[in-house]
Structure 1
């Protein structure tokens, strides 16, 4: 702890406010404090570079008695803000101004302004919602719409509404959603104080690459070459330090390597760097600097001395594939708002320039603002925070955007599987323990469950690696862990902090390093436990998604993997495993016990019912054996599914069954109910009524072919109407010659095919369905070929028969061709009657 300067806290603040730095916000400070005092809440809208983070906190602290908490979205920004403000006061950090971030705390009893990350604030709110000793909370950079920031704002409004109406709240934003924020902070809306930026002009130079920026594997080396080339050009054409924006730490390293030999200090800047390396990038140096940074320097950090910005035009945003259970950061084009903020970094202290690595015509097509994380991110941690707060669905909380129902449902499913929520969505004691750990809930569960097996220190080391960066060369997470254990101090420090939060358990089981890492990953992500498929490097995960190892991975050949990170390129069916560790089946079954199922499946496969008893770990089948006594209802359901898929033709349709179905179809068309609909759709929809009693005995394709379809169809006959079936739709009709000829009901109108000579003396075609439908006569030649088709026999004898007689009597002279067929004697004989 630092005790501070001799001037005392009040004197230090008064001195700063009496002669503030020449920043645009200085003129608005009194108004901000007055509005806060009157309304209890205020929104400050001020672009980056106006000095809001520097001057608003000390002004508010000078006006209240308690401590002022100031949030920043990132650790690097929190440390930098505290150090800058302490420097202006002429003090060391920890006196009037202090900070608390994960693993670091520099405050004292004299501290009036404490800068914290949003995550730290959430932990404090969950521990004690009244925030004792705090008079005002200032939420900085709320426009970035990080999930933690949205949640912190909502919880603070809830505290003001129900617990501490006197708690002051200031929301500071760099963009234009101030009115929406103001409406949430107070009723009526909180006042908004707008501060204009006093920036210098910035020239825009468009530098589009010749080829695309990314492919299925990520940012291309060619594009990094292009960015480095633009940096060299900017250094040649402009004066001053250069700030380069790229999407992530790997791209920072890639660009920095490509700038080797340039006569400048090339300095990386991202959140995983050690504090001293971050400070070095934020301090002016004796030589010209090129600072290669992620979006961390976009709005929440000031990098002094910058006159030139090189913007690669890319950003990383969270995305979650709910169906496949995969999520992570994806590379997207920067938003227009983000691009403007980046460009503004070049014009804070003097005229500058921005070199944009995209074409001018692309710029208007960029999205206006970044997508709020609540709409795209994995909501598991968010859902646990809500449940721990006592509002599992967020009802009544002042969220800027509601959480997507599907994403929340998926998050709750994960939390129930972790034992953090009960089936009703309420937080459990285990869930509260997980929520107290400063890691993703999956990793929190892994730490709690792995510590008794591996020992607290060992489990915490692995969790710290997973929480930091789970990408690994060749996807080999064990190798990555071993490297970190002997390398990065920040990860080891995080491991010590986590270990201090979990009690040591006696009698710990010893596992190899490979299985130790695998156990922690499996406990954190049970849905990603994967078993190798027969084709070698392809795996099936418990959650049902396929995944493959990258070429040359040292993990090839392991039957079981616990996957820490996986992504899926557009157009690919399976994901690509980016980090994993081996496990065995026993560990997999233990870690994913919530996914273990024992079931009896009865399915239809290739025209037969297949019944098996299976043990499954999610989508992975562990064991499968024949089931000799499936439940009849399951058999019937399987046959139903099979017939729905393969169609009714899979049944043994013999002539009698087809004929009865055709007669019933005719009566349904002609008379309607109660005669049944026997179309495919109707029969499939009502299988139980007519086919069900026969299906329970079906096990094989041979058994299916023995089903009595004719008898089954007879179950559909309506009673007592069924007694008239033969009268309404007879199978055969007696013609004048005495023959009984079958009626064909397969066409829309019943058809009777009969030789012309057998119909002599018939003056009208017979009527069916109680006289409603005439039979369509197909009058045949002696050779059995159609000579005429008619349903109006009288008209045919009068007008059509003479032509038929003329055409056929020469070819068939031995057959009867009387001039008047209506009075002629019908005959079956092929010879002319004497």
Structure 2
């Protein structure tokens, strides 16, 4: 009774206290509000003496007169704030503010209530049966327990929409009283949320253009070969250094789709020390000009840079193609006219003088419209098939 008193409704509180200790008064249902109404009118000697006991208890507290009727739930909530329960899923199933689960028979009139205050439970924590409870409104919960209610804003990343979302939840312990979506953040908050999403989900969330991918591979190759101060391009380091290379280029939008394609290459380049910036193209060029005049892209996705090129485009070249001021030979992936790999070499002059004869014999039969000279060093490089009629 001590837990129920002190709310200016000592008479009602005392009646409830008696009901909770005396089984069967006002009926056997779980709904204390109904039992309280029946108990007030019950004529049996047991009920009469119980009401007298309630009056004595109320007098001890010094407030026998109740100031207007009050709901059982409103009285109980002060006594058991951790036993506020919210309906979840199936009818009759509830979760309590303290995290436990509890249930009522689906046919019980209280089973359809959105919120209860549970005065008595029997059985195990997750499946305890509610034997005494009262309905309460969300409004009454908020006004009675304002100090215990927490409003939290949670920023999360919606992978499908590639955007940051903000959810506001109002909670009482383990119970969610309400939740709603708020507008996405803007400015510095949006930028921070984008970085947070990348830390959690990885760099693959970003849109990597061909230019960005190639630049990353070139810088990574320079870092592996030459070490610091060439920047490390591993996922781990780039995520660790997001504040250095990505944050300065963001524009305060909470969506990845709003990040301009040029932002990533600009950000990665900014990690290269100023005095090395102009050396990137000299040491790790994006393309190599072959004798046929074609501007062929260099691949940096393996241990060594690779030049995949049709063999006819290299005729007449007696020096192995290299980069980084001639210090790094390119791995040549020699292709057929149909762009299929024929052979890989890091010694072109050796290839011309060695296995070219076998390659030529095989290729002449397969691609008769193309030139297959006996001595490729004396032939003109070409990106085309033979002219008609030759």
- In the superposition, the TM-score normalised over structure 2's length comes to 0.77
Deviations 1:560-618 (A, max 9, x none): 21134568969xxx655524321112321133223223444433224222235555444
Name the SS of the counterpart of 1:709 in structure 2. helix
1:812 has 2:367 as partner: yes
Q: Is the 8 A contact 1:600 1:627 kept in 2?
A: no
1:462 has 2:20 as partner: no
- Which of 107, 110, 134 is the equivalent residue of 1:552? 107
Q: Is the 8 A contact 2:352 2:377 kept in 1?
A: yes
1:582 has 2:138 as partner: no
Q: Is the 8 A contact 1:737 1:826 kept in 2?
A: yes
5+ residue gaps, structure 1: 1-442
CA distance in 2, matches of 1:464, 1:706: 72
**How many angstroms does 1:803 deviate by?**
1.8
Name the SS of the counterpart of 1:452 in structure 2. coil
Q: CA RMSD in A?
A: 4.1
**How many angstroms does 1:830 deviate by?**
2.2
Tell me the equivalent position of 1:689.
244
Deviations 1:498-547 (A, max 9, x none): 768x73258754344xx32x234322332332333576544454456665
Q: Label 1:807 to 1:565 Cα distance change in 2 as closer, same or farther (>3 A).
A: farther
What pairs up with 1:698-709 in 2 under 5 angstroms?
698-700=253-255, 702-704=257-259, 708-709=263-264
What pairs up with 1:662-811 in 2 under 5 angstroms?
662-695=217-250, 697-700=252-255, 702-704=257-259, 708-768=263-323, 773-811=328-366
Which one scores higher on RCO, CA 8 angstroms, separation ≥ 6? 2
Q: Is the 8 A contact 1:755 1:784 kept in 2?
A: yes
Tell me the equivalent position of 2:195.
640
Q: Is the 8 A contact 1:652 1:705 kept in 2?
A: no
Tell me the equivalent position of 1:243.
none
- Which of 165, 178, 195 is the equivalent residue of 1:622? 178
CA distance in 1, matches of 2:385, 2:22: 98
Q: Label 1:467 to 1:642 Cα distance change in 2 as closer, same or farther (>3 A).
A: farther
Deviations 1:724-766 (A, max 9, x none): 1112211111223332210122334322111112223444544
Q: Is the 8 A contact 1:475 1:577 kept in 2?
A: no
Name the SS of the counterpart of 2:85 in structure 1. strand
Name the SS of the counterpart of 1:660 in structure 2. helix
Name the SS of the counterpart of 1:717 in structure 2. coil
**How many angstroms does 1:693 deviate by?**
3.7
Name the SS of the counterpart of 1:810 in structure 2. helix
Q: Is the 8 A contact 2:58 2:64 kept in 1?
A: no
Name the SS of the counterpart of 1:741 in structure 2. strand
Q: Is the 8 A contact 2:188 2:252 kept in 1?
A: no
Name the SS of the counterpart of 2:150 in structure 1. strand
5+ residue gaps, structure 2: none
1:510 has 2:68 as partner: yes
CA distance in 1, matches of 2:297, 2:192: 37
Tell me the equivalent position of 1:528.
83
**How many angstroms does 1:773 deviate by?**
4.9
CA distance in 2, matches of 1:657, 1:463: 72
Deviations 1:676-723 (A, max 9, x none): 333333333333222224556223465357783333333333332222
**How many angstroms does 1:558 deviate by?**
1.5
What pairs up with 1:110-129 in 2 under 5 angstroms?
none
CA distance in 2, matches of 1:696, 1:749: 37
Q: Is the 8 A contact 1:600 1:612 kept in 2?
A: yes
CA distance in 1, matches of 2:360, 2:348: 15
Q: Label 1:523 to 1:788 Cα distance change in 2 as closer, same or farther (>3 A).
A: same
- In the superposition, the TM-score normalised over structure 1's length comes to 0.39
Q: Label 1:541 to 1:642 Cα distance change in 2 as closer, same or farther (>3 A).
A: farther
Q: Is the 8 A contact 2:16 2:36 kept in 1?
A: yes
Q: Is the 8 A contact 1:615 1:624 kept in 2?
A: no
Name the SS of the counterpart of 2:372 in structure 1. coil
CA distance in 2, matches of 1:494, 1:651: 72
CA distance in 1, matches of 2:305, 2:28: 75
